[in-house]
Chain A
Amino acid sequence: MPADVAILVVTALVAAVAVAAAVVAVRALREVRRINAERAAEPPRELVVTEPEPSVVDVDARPVKVVEGRVVATLTQQDLLEARLSRPLARLSVYAHGIAHALRPESRDRITALMKREYRRRRAIRLRAARRALYAVPNDELTGRTEWLGSTDRAESLPRAVGE
């Protein structure tokens, strides 16, 4: 496919996606306007506060109110604590303490020693396997060679380069 055709196809795809996004946005805007118009047309309602009836399966004992058909849960001490601990600065502090804990000399040395030990263990396993594989070969195949290191028999049979 030529480059200009590929660019044309990609541009067409991008244009189709943009048109689809525009349609979705316009529809959402119309929906929001319709809801706002309906709300403006309705007369103001009185604030109705109703207590929910106690159910049999009431696991969470937190105080809950229903205001205008919406369930409003009162925050407990636990919620407040969790909110305080989930603030960005608190999370950052927690991460910083975690990293500082991991980079203590004792943790650092332990991790480094673990890595070295793991590397040596794997190397020892590989060398042992190589040694076993070497010993598994019959001696005849290793020692039955007629040529020696540096012998010229094999070298002479090899093709020579030009000018050699």
Chain B
Amino acid sequence: MISRVVYLAIGAAAGAYGTVKARRAAYRLSAPGVVDQAAAAGLGWRELRSEIADGMAAHERTQYLKLTRKQQR
């Protein structure tokens, strides 16, 4: 009896988990889901470019200071 209840609980949990995953996958493949993913990718791309610009500016500043010190010696 206990084993049946356990199997029932496991089955229900697996069913709920699978349903949620399937619904999310279906949304991802739908047109609004694709639009949302594209928007999120655009945001990520903008952030990446901003990070790259920050890194470039920091490195340029470092190089500039290094060369300035070298010339002052």
Contact = CB atoms under 8 A, between A and B. Distances in A.
B18 interface: no
Interface centre among B27, B32, B43, B55 (most CB of A within 10 A): B55
Nearest to B44: A115
Contacts of B7: none
A11 interface: no
Interface string A110-145: 111011101100110010000000000000000000
B51 A118 contact: no
Contacts of B37: 119
B51 A102 contact: yes
Contact of A102 (B39, B43, B48): B48
The A interface, classified by DSSP as helix, strand, loop or mixed, is: helix
A123 B33 contact: yes
Interface string A75-106: 00100110011000010011101111110000
Interface of B: 27, 32-33, 36-37, 39-41, 43-44, 47-48, 51-56, 58-60, 63-64, 67-68, 71
Given A81-B71, A111-B44, 18 more contacts: A80-B71, A93-B59, A94-B60, A97-B56, A98-B52, A98-B55, A99-B55, A102-B51, A102-B52, A102-B54, A102-B55, A110-B47, A111-B47, A114-B44, A115-B44, A116-B40, A118-B39, A122-B40
